[in-house]
Amino acid sequence: MESHVGASYQVARRPRRPARYWIARAVLYGVLILFALYVLVPFMWVIFTALKSNYEIAQDPLGLPPNWRFENLAQAWNQGKFSRYFINSVIVTVPIVLLVVSLSCLAGYGLARLKMPGRMLIFYFFLVGLMVPFTAIMIPLFYILRDIGVLGTYWAMILPQTAISLPFGIFFMRAFFSGLPYDLTDAAKIDGCNDFGVFRRVMLPLAGPAVAALVVFNFMGSWNAFLLPLIYLQSDKLRPVMTGMMFFTTRWGPDYSMSMAGTLIVMAPIMAVYLVFQRQFIQGLTAGAVRG
């Protein structure tokens, strides 16, 4: 009987799956959905809390907001001075990313493709920097930045954040340039290009995806940096979003709706950008682990 049924279905275009298959599917999806909920539920509660009044939170901390108070966001935006903090974050992040990417491309290319005595030594010298945590240098850096007179300016974050990001950038770009075929450069050289010309005209255009990954990686690194601006960018006029958010949310400690509204304001743009440029984000943030 069973064999008969089986045989008759083998003729059909879509074989009917056994019940076991569907149960396995259901369990599989159940597990996947469970983990998705683990991720999403906290976000949901952040949004709910942000859009309630504190009284409504105390009445019903879990449920949907009885009135969706979007004005909370406006209030948090103004009280938290987030417009200033966002501008500050952009002002420090853009130069950091530009500097890290350009310096890493140059040095990565140089260390990968150009002849110079001590090349490997220089490379290892940079590599050691990958292992030095920021905490190990944060104390004297404060005094160095003070003595060169940049504390109190955006440079107090731009310079050290660039420097601590270089080892990885160089490591990453060197690995990339090393992997490119040599005949490309040879051909260009025969055509009369000098080293810089080869770099700019031939190699750099090929480096698009690697550069994009490095941009995302460093953008996230400096946008999300916390300890560094906490120590070096203390004036409220210079404060970037992350420390600004800390000062706002802990200041309004028991004011849960304001503090969650502030958190939502900070989270929303980065999540929106992520949802749009998902592939680039994932590639950029995992670049080190996948390729290195």
Partner 1 sequence: MTDSIRQVFANRKLRDYATGYAFVIPALVMYVIFVVYPFFYTIYLSLTKWDGAKPVKEFVGFLNYERLFADPRLWSALSHNLIWIVLGTVTPVAIGLFLGVLLWRGLRGMVFFRTVYFLPVVLAPVAVGIIWKWMYNPQFGPINSTLRAVGLDVLAKGWLGDPYVALPALIFAGVWGYFGFCFVVIMAGLQNIDMEQIDAALVDGANGPQRLWYIIIPGLRHVLTMITAFTLILGVNVFDIIWITTRGGPGRATHVIATYTYNTAFRESYVGYGSALAIVMGTVSLVVSFIFISIRERGGD
Partner 2 sequence: MNHKTVLRLLAIVLVFALFGTALAQDPVEILYWDQVSSDDAQAVIDTIVANFEEAHPNIKITREVYTLEQLTDIARTSIEAGEGPDILYYDSGPAYGGILGNAGLLLSLEEAYATYNWDERLVSVSRDWTTYGGTVYGVGHEFEAQGFYWNKRIFADEGLEVPSTFEEMVALCGTFRELGYDPPMAAGWADWGGFPISHNWYNVLANSVPSDKVAAAISGEYPFNSPDIVASLDLVVELVEAGCYDEQGSAISFLDGNAKFYTGQAPMMLMSTWAMQFFTEEITDEFGFMILPPIEGGEQTMIQLMGAVWYIIGDTEHPEETLTFLNYLVSEEAHRLWVEGAKLLPGVTGVDFSDYDVRPVYRDFLNLVSGWDGPVGYHLDVLTPANFNTTLFESTVELAAGRLTSQEVADRITVEMERAVEDGRHADITG
- The footprint of partner 2 on residues 245-264 (CB under 8 A) is 247, 250-251, 253-254
Phi, psi of 117 (to 5 degrees): -65, 140
Q: Judged by CB under 8 A, does residue 159 bind partner 2? A: no
Backbone angles phi, psi at 252, to 5 degrees: -95, 30
Per-residue x/- track, 218-257, partner 1 (CB under 8 A): --x--xx-xx---x----------x--xx--xx-----x-
Q: Are 206 and 273 in contact (CB under 8 A)?
A: no
> Residue 104 phi/psi, 5° resolution?
-70, -40
| Among 170, 207, 233, 238, contact with partner 1 (rule: CB under 8 A) | 170
249 near 63, Cβ under 8 Å? Answer: no
Nearer to partner 1, 67 or 278 (CB): 278
Q: Give the residue with the Cβ less far from partner 1, 180 or 285.
A: 285
Considering Cα of 195, then 199, then 200, then 203, what sign does the dihedral take? Answer: positive
Interface size with partner 1, residues (CB under 8 A): 91
Instruction: Look up residue 48 and give its amino acid.
Output: F
User: Does 142 sit near partner 2 (CB under 8 A)?
Assistant: yes
Residue 78 interacts with partner 1 (CB under 8 A)? no
Q: Angle at CA 178, nearest 5°, toward 175 and 184?
A: 145
Residue 63, amino acid: G
Q: Lay out the site mask for partner 1 across 9-48 (x = CB under 8 A, - = otherwise).
A: -------------------xx-xx--xx-xxxxxx-xx--
**Is 213 an interacting residue with respect to partner 1 (CB under 8 A)?**
no
Residue 199 DSSP class: I
Q: Does 151 bind partner 2 (CB under 8 A)?
A: yes
Helix or strand (DSSP H, E) at 133: none
Exposure string over 218-235, b if 16+ CB within 10 A, otherwise e: bbbbbbebeebbbbbbee
Q: Tell me the site size for partner 2, rule CB under 8 A.
A: 18
Residue among 51, 76, 107, 233 that touches partner 1 (CB under 8 A):
107
Contact at 8 Å (CB) between 167 and 126?
Answer: yes
152 binds partner 1 (CB under 8 A): no
Tell me if 139 contacts partner 1 by CB under 8 A: yes
> Which residues in this chain contact partner 2 in the complex, by CB under 8 A?
142, 145-146, 151-152, 156, 230-232, 234-236, 238, 247, 250-251, 253-254
